[in-house]
Amino acid sequence: MTGLHHRYQSKRPVWIIILASLVCVSLLGAYIYPPRGYSACYFLSSSICSKDWLPPVPARVYTDEEIAARVVFRDIIAAPFVQSNNPKIAFMFLTPGSLPFEKLWEKFFQGHEGRFSIYVHASREKPVHVSPLFIGREIRSEKVAWGKISMVDAEKRLLANALQDTDNQHFVLLSDSCVPLHDFDYVYSYLMETNISFIDCFDDPGPHGSGRYYKHMLPEIEKKEFRKGSQWFSVKRPHALLILSDSLYYTKFKLYCKPGMEGRNCYADEHYLPTLFHMVDPGGIANWSVTHVDWSEEKWHPKAYRAQDVTFELLKNITSIDESYHKTSDESEKIHLDWMTALQCRQCAVNLDTFSVRSLDAILYWH
């Protein structure tokens, strides 16, 4: 499959502007984020595309399960936000094993005790920690097969553990190759002050978008609702609850969105949350992720950084990115939007061995 995809960056609405960032520097991106197709976006969606001259289509009659799911979602979203006296951000690391940038994260967190909590889902081996902040932060984990529903299960496991702490108000999913691009205060105020979740979501009519849709998902999920996006999200507490409360749509993806199904590939972690939120709370998500991945080379893998690539200048460039686009896999659309990202996550196919101390120094200096 091919990849490519969407890249984004942006600058935009005046109201949100500035932001912060985590860059995921690469490392092992390919294995965390195996080559797949991703693609793009298009997101001027429905209102613009609707054809006024068509007779109105009668509304579909919902199944019992849909009615039940939708009232639960509606009330979770509408419920008054539970205010905490000590609001924290949950940083949830989804990693195969040890976190190569623990020292960097420690520096990021230092001096902000009480305003964050850390959760680590290590799917392959027990991590060796170099920072006391990460010791004892592992949750019970299971194996994760990239692209399969076990990836979504790991995300839900992290959310469930993080929701146990009622002070956690915002939940950020990060990979082991993510590094922070902005300082803690910047990230904290950006995420705490916004009322939306950062879930990447776009309509890709191409083979790596709705070409992965199966009609078995009917009647609940129609092809026109099928969406795509990077798996790295950051969600407000009500949306975290909504994700855990869903079993109807989750089950559809578990059964009918998997690699190699009927000769085609579908990756639940790229489609489940974008599609779910597009259907149940489209106005509550940014349609962009706060993490940054560079797909500008338009290859199967995101841009790879070698140790010598990671310089002060590169980091400065990434933090100044102020516009972004999603690219669809049918090559038809490339839409630029202005939007400013809060956290940026860069994943790339960099060999861990080549990611030297020198790179880490550049990043540490950046902070």
Select the span of 83-91, 150-158, 252-260, 281-289 touching ligand NAG (CB under 6 A).
281-289
DSSP three-state, residue 77:
helix
Would you give the binding string for ligand NAG spanning residues 28-67, x where CB under 6 A is met? -----------------x----------------------
Q: Which parts of 171-200 interact with ligand NAG (CB under 6 A)?
A: 195-196
Q: Which parts of 296-315 interact with ligand NAG (CB under 6 A)?
A: 311, 313-314
Asked if 184 and 17 count as a contact pair (C-beta separation under 8 A), the reply is: no
Asked if 46 and 339 count as a contact pair (C-beta separation under 8 A), the reply is: no
* Phi, psi angles (nearest 5°) of residue 109: -80, -25
Q: Per rule CB under 6 A, is residue 279 in the interface with ligand NAG?
A: no
CA proximity to 252, closest of 219, 207, 211, 285: 219
Measured from the CB atom, is 286 or 304 closer to ligand NAG? 286
Q: Per rule CB under 6 A, is residue 248 in the interface with ligand NAG?
A: no
Which of 278, 292, 326, 327 is the binder for ligand NAG (CB under 6 A)? Answer: 278
Q: Per rule CB under 6 A, is residue 217 in the interface with ligand NAG?
A: no
Q: How far is the CB of 133 from ligand NAG (least distance, A)?
A: 30
Burial class (CB in 10 A: 0-12, 13-18, 19+), 330: middle
For 223-284, what is the HEC assignment? HHHCCECCCCCEEEHHHHHHHHHCCHHHHHHHHHCCCCECCECCCHHHHHHHHHHHHHCHHH
Which of 164, 317, 332, 351 is the binder for ligand NAG (CB under 6 A)? Answer: 317
- Tokens for 69? 């799911």
Measured from the CB atom, is 75 or 313 closer to ligand NAG? 313
Which residues contact ligand NAG by CB under 6 A?
45, 195-196, 278, 282-287, 311, 313-314, 317
